[in-house]
Chain A
């Protein structure tokens, strides 16, 4: 079975500082990887995804993530955060060739302080 671990439940940072949100997954089969963001009182929005090809993927709002197969990681990074990035971030996997349902991590709450 697949599982996703987000190592930090909360990450406080100051505005304009860099941030890394960590995600590790466990799977015996090939997976696709996703990061979703949930702003307060809103639904989930896709930030970026890795399906194949280049291991460095760029998403919306200046975020990027790197797929590391040997470490089974898919950490999310942003070089300089804004107050508006305050939200909860979810890492997710789906099994390639499957019905496509997402298996989510527990989420990381990013709090950007002025």
Chain B
């Protein structure tokens, strides 16, 4: 079946602009995760959704970052007033169960802030 998809695959934006990154999880997966992969920081956890709820937003690096999930499916990660340090690959993963479940990763969105 279809895996996790993310769009766009690449995004180049100017410093100060807002961007939206989209994640389509595997159908039926209730848990959804956002991670960021950058050269300096490695892979960092950003936020987790169980259904449409995000009980823990502490991984978001600043208040410029927000995320939502609708219908227990698609999720959008929004970065406002982008900065150069936001440049990274943003990965989305979904899981059938939120405890010890195997996470399936999407191909990522490569964000470059110029």
Interface residues of A (CB under 8 A from B): 32, 36, 42-46, 49, 51, 90, 92, 94, 96-107
Contacts and interface: CB of A to CB of B under 8 A. Distances in A.
Interface stretch (B14-22, B48-56, B60-68, B71-79): B48-56
A107 B102 contact: no
- Which size bracket describes the interface of B in this complex? 20 to 34
Interface of B: 4, 31, 33, 35, 42-45, 48, 50, 55-56, 59, 91, 93, 95, 97-108
Contacts of A98: 99
B100 A43 contact: no
Contacts, number: 62
B99 A101 contact: no
A60 B94 CA distance: 20
Contact of B107 (A42, A49, A97): A42
The 4 A-B residue pairs with the shortest CB-CB distance, nearest first, are A104-B43, A44-B105, A43-B105, A101-B45
A100 B102 contact: no
A97 B105 contact: no
B95 A100 contact: yes
A100 B4 CA distance: 18
Contacts of B91: 43-44
A104 B93 CA distance: 14
Contacts of B33: 100-102
Contacts of B99: 96-100
Contact of A99 (B93, B98, B102, B104): B98
Contacts of A44: 91, 93, 105
A100 B101 contact: yes
